[in-house]
Amino acid sequence: MSGLLSLRGLRVAFAGEGGAAMAVRGVDLELEGGEGLALVGESGSGKSATAKAILGLHDMSSTAVTGSVRFEGRELLELGEAELRSFRGRGASMVFQDPGTSFNPLLRMGEQVAEAFRSVAGLDRKAAREAALGLFSRLGIRDPVTRYAQYPHEFSGGMLQRMMILLALAGRPRLLVADEPTTALDVTVQAQVLLFLEELKEELGMAVLLVTHDMGIVAETSTRIAVMYAGRIVETGGTAEVLGSPAHPYTEALLEAMPRPGSRGTRLATILGLPPGVYEADSGCPFFPRCRHALASCMDGLPPSVEAGPGRKSACFRTHSLSLRGIA
Amino acid sequence: MLAYLARRLLQLVPVLLVASFLVFVAARLTPQDPAVVMAGGRQTSTAVLEAIRAKYHLDESVPSQYLRWMAGALLGDLGESYRLKQGVSAMIAARLPVSLQLIAMSVAIALLAAVPLGILAALRKGSWVDILATSLSLAALSSPVFLTGILGILLFSYTLGWLPALGSGRNFAENLRYLLMPSVALALNMLALSMRMTRSGMIEAMRRPYIQTAILKGLPRRTIVLKHALRNALLPLVTITGLQIGFLLSGTVLVEYTFGLGGLGSLLVNAIQTSDYPVVQGLTLFIVSAFLLINLLVDLLYGIIDPRIRQA
């Protein structure tokens, strides 16, 4: 398989009051066509900023995006606004966290869906309306003609997110970036939406980059996983291998902090301390202050990303000397 | 929608009752004796004052005077001016066209300039366009109408001779010319405020996720700005414009004095200065009613713009 997406040294910095807020501090990531990759990390680790950078959705007047984002060999960071516009929706597309705010509250749902078909798929007004009505039917919406004229607040969150997914796929993109697509939904609806996403992935053969902080849904959806911490990727590898025997202490700590069957009644593990702030300069391993395996030498410089098994990498000085606990 | 309208109109009744009562009582609390005012303020015999009081029912109790006044007001009769012996309703009707045209023109000027400027400033946040627009709006907000008015008269009437300096025309068309300068002077303040509201509203709207969705759809920037962001940014502007119009009903007084116009504002101030209570209370009641109606209109407009409010 040829590489679909390749991030090299990606940095995203927001102009903030305390100087540049470094949300992403050099991310390297590869994604193959049709692959499912989960980008995991806690809030503020730079997952969403990385995702938005792929689609060129950052406000360039206040954000500096540097490094390289290659999609099918094309450097996206060098594209002009017009080229980006034709890339979005067709090359790659995105689904956002809260379906309740992904749609314009003042416009009719049908119009908002049809608009995507007109713009991304190049359909005329009538064909776009047909396509939108077809989408409504596909989602099992009864009386699509009436619902076409309704507004976002008249739909459920789960329905809106499924519509958003279909709408994002209107231009048959090769990559769908899903930024915490189920976080804002009820637990029962979460599974349905993930399943829906999985079916579409199979049907269209597209790659899915799933951004999430929920380790629980990673195992079900993605063959590969990338763990992000403080703006960097600290570990990558096959989902089963990484979850089974993590190579980076942060991954181990994340897995421990996961509620599990059988852990009922016992105290849930937490990771003590806080990740470094976005304004803090690098000094040693960023996870050092919170790491239970840390040595004094971990304060010297940034740990490089090293091979940690077949198809696996870990950015820890002690990758090869540690044996960490995963979840079976 | 009709049921909603009926309900809202019904809600106005108690508000108007309370407001009218307050207006009426406030006029009674002023130290001037109305009978003395009507007698021309001169020393008059007690008998004459008594006669005046009897004729105008001033010898009755305050509640009964209030009821008499309200009964008239409901039929459109707001009483008679003490000083001019004219019907208050007729006086308001005579002054209303100039005031309405002045307000309409200044609101139109303000919005037509403020909305595009606000959009431009928001989209180019931090650029020279934004900085210029924001600082000019600060200047406009802090210059009083009598200053900009007089400067305008000096430039456009005295030096260039393009526009009349004073007074109003005989009809609507003539007034377009006569009221242009007063309208602009009046509009500057509103323009500045509306520009800032549009700017902040647009900046806020452009940050919303649905704008990112619109960008993802590959829509042209024009469509994103005008179709998706602007509508959302307009809601606060509608509120502030409604409030401004209500305020302008009597707030035009400085402009009226500067340009020698006879509108509602100067009518009210003159009436207060001469203790002409029927005019004061009649006009105040009129302005309060207009204010309430404008607010109702704003709420209806909200419902038209935002379906969530319409269906709530």
Tokens of B84: 């001019």
User: Cα separation of A81 and A67, whole Å?
Assistant: 18
Q: Can you tell me the mean pLDDT for B237-257?
A: 87
B312 touches chain A (CB under 8 A): no
- Mean pLDDT, residues B34-47 taken together: 76
Token pair for residue A191? 């599974």
Note whether residue B68 is domain-resident.
Answer: no
Q: Which of B215, B219, B308 sits opposite A57 (nearest CB)?
A: B215
Q: Does B305 touch chain A (CB under 8 A)?
A: yes
Average pLDDT of chain B is 88
User: pLDDT, tens digit, for every residue of A170-188?
Assistant: 889 999 999 999 888 888 8
B310 in reach of chain A (CB within 8 A)? no
- Can you tell me the distance from the alpha carbon of A138 to that of A271, in angstroms, rounded to the nearest whole number? 43
Q: What is the pLDDT of residue A328?
A: 65
Asked if residue B264 belongs to a domain, the reply is yes
The answer to whether residues A33 and A2 touch, using CB atoms and an 8 Å cutoff, is yes
Which CATH number belongs to the domain containing residue B119 in this structure? 1.10.3720.10
Any domain includes B83: no
What's the pLDDT at A92? 94
Residue that the structure tokens 């890339």 belong to: A87
Q: Give me the residue from A96, A119, A170 closest to B212, CB to CB.
A: A96
What share of chain B in percent tops pLDDT 70? 99
DSSP state of B83: T
Distance from CA of B311 to the nearest CA of A (A): 10
What are residue A207's DSSP bridge partners? A175
Does the pLDDT at position A270 exceed 60? yes
Q: Does A26 touch chain B (CB under 8 A)?
A: no
Is-contact B53 B61, C-beta < 8 A?
A: no
* B133 within a domain of the structure (yes/no): yes
Q: What's the rounded mean pLDDT across residues A118-132?
A: 90
CA distance A71 to A51: 13
The stretch B23-43 carries a mean pLDDT of 77
Alpha-carbon distance values, A69 to A12, A52, A174, A306 (Å): 12, 11, 15, 22
pLDDT digits (tens, 9 = 90+) for B87-126: 999 999 999 999 999 999 999 999 999 999 999 999 988 8
pLDDT grade, residue A263 (50/70/90)? low
What is the domain range of residue B156?
93-274
Average pLDDT for A283-299: 89
Report yes or no: B208 at the A interface, CB cutoff 8 Å. Answer: yes
Q: What is the arrangement of strands in the sheet containing A232-238, beginning at the earlier edge strand? A: A92-95, A175-179, A207-212, A36-40, A224-229, A232-238, A313-314, A306-307
Q: Which of B128, B204, B213, B308 best tests the A interface by mutation, with the highest count of A CBs <10 A?
A: B213
Return the biggest CA–CA distance within chain B: 86
- Alpha-carbon gap: B187 to the closest alpha carbon of chain A (Å): 29
Tell me the percentage of chain A whose pLDDT exceeds 70: 98
Contact B214 A104 (CB under 8 A): yes
Q: What is the largest CA-CA distance in chain A?
A: 68
The residue to which tokens 């993605």 are assigned: A222
Q: Which residues of B touch A102 (CB under 8 A)?
A: 209-210, 212-213
pLDDT for residue A247 is more than 90: yes
Contacts of B204 in chain A (CB under 8 A): none
Q: How high is the pLDDT of residue A269?
A: 78
Chain centroid to CA B221: 36
pLDDT score of A37 more than 60: yes
Point out the residue among A86, A97, A107 whose CB comes nearest to the CB of B218.
Answer: A86
Residue with the larger pLDDT of the pair B292 and B170: B292
Q: Tens of pLDDT along A222-239?
A: 999 999 999 999 999 999
Comparison of pLDDT for A21 and B36, the residue scoring more: A21
- Domains of chain A: which residue ranges? 3-106+151-273+282-314
Task: Say if B4 is an interface residue toward chain A (CB within 8 Å).
Answer: no
Q: Is residue B47 in some structural domain?
A: no
Tell me if B308 and A105 make a contact (CB, 8 A cut-off): yes
Of the candidates B296, B121, B282, the one whose C-alpha atom is nearest the C-alpha of residue B202 is B121
pLDDT at residue B251 in the model: 81
A151 neighbourhood in chain B, CB within 8 Å: 307-308
Q: Per the domain annotation, does B34 fall within a domain?
A: no
Instruction: Report the pLDDT value the prediction gives residue A1, as an integer from 0 to 100.
Output: 42
Average pLDDT over residues A247-268: 82
- In 3D, which of B259, B261, B281 has the Cα closest to residue B272? B281
* A57 in reach of chain B (CB within 8 A): yes
ipTM for the predicted complex comes to 0.87
State the DSSP string of A258-293.
S--TT-TTSPPP---S-PPPTTPPP-S-TTGGG-TT
Which residue type does B198 have? Answer: T
Calculate ∠ Cα B45-B50-B54, nearest 5°: 155
Distance of alpha carbon A20 from alpha carbon A182, whole angstroms: 30
Tokens found for residue B276: 């002409």
Going by their DSSP bridges, the two strands A224-229 and A3-16 should be labelled as unpaired
Provide the pLDDT confidence category of residue B41 given band limits of 50, 70 and 90.
low
SS3 B47: helix
Inter-chain CB pairs, A–B, below 8 Å: 75
* B130-157 burial code (b ≥16 CB/10 A, e <16): beebbeebeebeebebeebbeebbeebb
In a domain, residue B37? The reply is no
pLDDT tens figures, B120-154: 999 988 889 899 988 988 888 888 888 888 888 88
Sign of CA dihedral B107, B109, B110, B112: positive
Confirm whether B154 is domain-assigned.
Answer: yes
Fold held by A3-106+151-273+282-314: Rossmann fold (3.40.50)
The pLDDT value given to residue A115: 93
Across residues B170-183, what is the average pLDDT? 84
Mean pLDDT of all residues in chain A? 90
Contact B216 A55 (CB under 8 A): yes
Q: In whole angstroms, what is the distance from residue B118 CA to residue B136 CA?
A: 12
pLDDT at B42 (0 to 100): 67
Residues A164, B213: C-beta atoms closer than 8 Å: yes
Choose among A259, A240, A242, A238: nearest CA to A251: A242
Total number of domains constituting chain B: 1
CB contact under 8 A, A171 and B218: yes
